[in-house]
Amino acid sequence: MGPQHPSTHGVLRVVLKLDGERVIGSECVIGYLHRGVEKIAENRTYQQFAPYVDRMDYVAAVSNGLGYCEAIEKLLIVEAPPRARVIRTILTELQRIASHLLWLGTHALDIGALTPLFYCFREREEILKILEKYCGARLTTHAFRIGGLQYEAHDTFEKDVERFCKDFESRIVEYETLLTNNRIWIGRTKGVGILTAEDAIAFGVTGPVLRASGVKWDIRKAMPYAAYDQYKFEIPVGTTGDTYDRYLVRMEEMRQSRLICLQAIENVPAGPIMAKVGKVLKPPPGEVYHAIEAPKGELGYYVVSDGTVQPYRVRIRPPSFINLQAFDRMVRGHLVADVVAIIGTIDIVLGEVDR
Amino acid sequence: MADEPKEPQPAAVPTGEQPASKPSPVSGAPSAPAKPAAPPAPLKPPVVLQTPLNNEMVARYRVKFGAAIVDAIEDRKQAILVVESGRLEEIARYARDEEKFEMLTDLTAVDWPKREKRFDVVLNLYSFAKNERLRLKAQAADGEEVPSVVGVWVAANWMEREAFDMFGIVFSGHPNLKRILLPDEWQGYPLRKDYDILQQDTAWVRENLGIESGQ
């Protein structure tokens, strides 16, 4: 299957071993989108590399940027000012909703439900408009800078976010009306691609996939970063770890993200948006691992500094790459048609898998 | 452009010495002449960021593995254990079973070509029970085999393949050690420091166009 199959969301080739219609083995062939991001990092300065990270998970560029900026801030031992942290949180949560919407639309489309795609893109468009208003870019945003933000939030920022959040509440209900009790949807997702909690942990799976397997773990709670420690939100978990549970978890996550945004815009602290960092960044020698809860799971940056202006090594731990590894475990014993559902439910972005 | 500075840029000399003192452009620096204060006192206090780590957990490791725990460091409040590469799998299994680091978050490598053992194999572990991270590091020479930890965490399968792909580190006992991101016929290991970023471009131009690359 692939690498140009419409359901693989990019260039993923899956070699399937079949017994009739049943899958008895699989192997993912990846690397078609490999650009050597980690090598590029070693040949750029810390600031120069920042826009590159947007091109990994290109449907959630804001999250990539947040992880990178915070990792370098940890390396430099500086902290972004409170105002910057709150704005970062709002934008990242909006991005999470956008990413989940894209996932929902395409995942439903793969399984044969055409309508959700249009609904999802309608709302995603609103988020992209907010991002565009904020920083001028819709997808590869480069919204944050090491040390804080480059841009002050625009005048209508809070109002825009609030309006979106108000509308969005009823929109989620619309998607759920279409899918949650839909017999075809249930038939295609319930009991498909089950991943137990033990397996999920052994495979290093993170994010909604891990939570759907019943592990209540979210880095935003476990090791809070940005401004997450100030807000109240729930971590939704599943019970069986099948495709349907992963659907439910992500739906609930969108609701929670919406609540975080609403809490955050109520009280955006005033003050500077940049910490005092020099124009030339030379982090003291050493190393740091910093991870954030990206829409797809744990996005980690392991950065080694040798005291010069360029990183000595940047290792990016992409959630998609690691989660995709569990694909083989999830797909065995299922029908070929389910392969499409299972690829969709892991929510991979090949730009991030291949880097 | 892509000119790769091999000695990472001479910025060390004049400008770079004011990492913390200079106000950022956005925070509204009022006047320009505020600057001359910075250069005379080069802000390079010998901040000790790496300190030896001596807690109960390290003590338990030391009792159990003795000299195989080469070093224990804390860097920016993150715990690092440097271990003997030959006993990596054993130590990893202990970390998972006894110290409850159930999840292998990441496995990667760093190349230090000037060192006798040039590679650091780096494992980032996470414990759900303790909500803690731990980093295991093992040094390996070029060509030296490192025991695979796939038997401990299945997650290591692709990660070790990637480390093999990018650094050429061989993990003994790995069930399927082959390239993962690059094509099988790829020459060299790109994330080694001596792999120049223009190398493949020039080789391609020479081979396919029959001329020397102008880059």
User: B28-54 burial, b if ≥16 CB within 10 A, otherwise e?
Assistant: eeeeeeeeeebeeeeeeeeeebeeebe
Per-residue pLDDT in tens (0 to 9) along chain B, 215 residues: 444 444 444 443 344 344 444 444 444 444 444 444 444 445 555 566 788 887 888 888 888 888 888 888 888 888 888 888 888 888 898 988 888 898 999 999 999 988 888 899 999 999 998 898 999 999 998 888 899 999 899 999 999 999 999 999 999 888 988 889 888 888 888 888 888 877 777 877 888 888 877 66
Question: Which positions ≥6 away from A302 have C-beta within 8 Å?
Answer: A287, A288, A289, A313, A314, A315, A316, A317, B106, B108, B122, B124
CB of A13 less than 8 A from some CB of B: no
What's the rounded Cα separation, in Å, for the pair A7 and A111?
A: 9
What's the rounded Cα separation, in Å, for the pair B148 and B177?
A: 10
Q: Which residues of A touch B22 (CB under 8 A)?
A: 276, 278-279
**What pLDDT, on the 0 to 100 scale, is given for residue A260?**
92
- Does an H or E element contain B207, and which? helix B199-209
CB of A296 less than 8 A from some CB of B: no
CB atoms within 10 A of CB A157: 18
- Decide: A210 and A238 in contact? Cβ < 8 Å: no
A330/B39: higher pLDDT: A330
Section A81-90 average pLDDT: 91
What's the rounded Cα separation, in Å, for the pair A262 and A72?
A: 28
**What pLDDT, on the 0 to 100 scale, is given for residue B215?**
61
Section A65-87 average pLDDT: 90
Question: Quick one: pLDDT band at residue A101, thresholds 50, 70, 90?
Answer: very high
Paired with A305 in beta bridges are A286
What's the rounded Cα separation, in Å, for the pair B147 and A88?
A: 41
Question: Which positions ≥6 away from A72 have C-beta within 8 Å?
Answer: A46, A146, A281, A283, A303
**What pLDDT, on the 0 to 100 scale, is given for residue A7?**
61
What's the rounded Cα separation, in Å, for the pair A95 and A299?
A: 14
CA A113 from centroid of its chain's CA atoms? 23
What's the rounded Cα separation, in Å, for the pair B64 and A80?
A: 42
- Phi/psi for A97 (5° steps) reads -60, -45
Q: Which residues of A touch B108 (CB under 8 A)?
A: 302, 315, 317
Question: B126 to chain A, minimum CA–CA distance in Å?
Answer: 10
- Decide: A344 and A321 in contact? Cβ < 8 Å: no
**What pLDDT, on the 0 to 100 scale, is given for residue A280?**
84
Q: Which residues of A touch B128 (CB under 8 A)?
A: 201, 215, 217
CB of A304 less than 8 A from some CB of B: yes
| Nearest-CB residue to A289 (from B2, B124, B197) | B124
Q: Do A317 and B105 touch (CB under 8 A)?
A: yes
Question: B200 to chain A, minimum CA–CA distance in Å?
Answer: 12
Residue B136, helix vs strand vs coil:
strand
Residue type, A213: S
Domains and CATH numbers, chain A: 6-354 (1.10.645.10)
- Decide: A75 and A273 in contact? Cβ < 8 Å: no
- Decide: A39 and B190 in contact? Cβ < 8 Å: yes
**ipTM of the shown complex:** 0.83
Nearest to A83 by CA among A214, A236, A265: A265
Express each pLDDT in A26-59 by its tens digit. 888 888 888 888 988 988 899 889 899 988 888 8
CB atoms within 10 A of CB A119: 17
What's the rounded Cα separation, in Å, for the pair B1 and B93?
A: 47
- Decide: A60 and A127 in contact? Cβ < 8 Å: no
| Nearest-CB residue to B106 (from A31, A313, A317) | A317
Q: Is A137 exposed, middle or buried (0-12, 13-18, 19+ CB in 10 A)?
A: middle
Express each pLDDT in A148-205 by its tens digit. 888 888 888 888 998 999 989 899 998 888 888 888 889 888 888 888 999 999 999 9
State the alpha helices, DSSP H only, in B20-140.
56-65, 88-97
**What pLDDT, on the 0 to 100 scale, is given for residue A300?**
92
Question: Which positions ≥6 away from B207 have C-beta within 8 Å?
Answer: none
State the alpha helices, DSSP H only, in chain A.
37-42, 46-53, 61-76, 82-111, 115-135, 157-179, 183-189, 197-202, 208-212, 219-222, 243-266, 319-324, 327-331, 336-346, 350-354
Question: Which positions ≥6 away from A268 have C-beta within 8 Å?
Answer: A83, A86, A87, A90, A153, A158
| Nearest-CB residue to B155 (from A36, A76, A204) | A204
| Nearest-CB residue to A30 (from B2, B22, B180) | B180
What's the rounded Cα separation, in Å, for the pair A6 and A340?
A: 10
What's the rounded Cα separation, in Å, for the pair B128 and B109?
A: 24
pTM of structure: 0.82
Residue B170, helix vs strand vs coil:
strand
Residue appearing with tokens 């094509």? B183
- Decide: A51 and A66 in contact? Cβ < 8 Å: no
CB of A25 less than 8 A from some CB of B: no
Section A114-122 average pLDDT: 88
Domains and CATH numbers, chain B: 50-207 (3.30.460.80)
Question: Quick one: pLDDT band at residue A6, thresholds 50, 70, 90?
Answer: low
**What pLDDT, on the 0 to 100 scale, is given for residue B47?**
62
List the single range of A79-88, A317-326, B61-70, B108-117 with lowest mean pLDDT: B61-70
For testing the chain B interface, which of A37, A43, A292, A324 should be mutated: the one with the most B CBs within 10 Å? A43
Please tell me which residue of chain B has the smallest CA distance to A78: B20
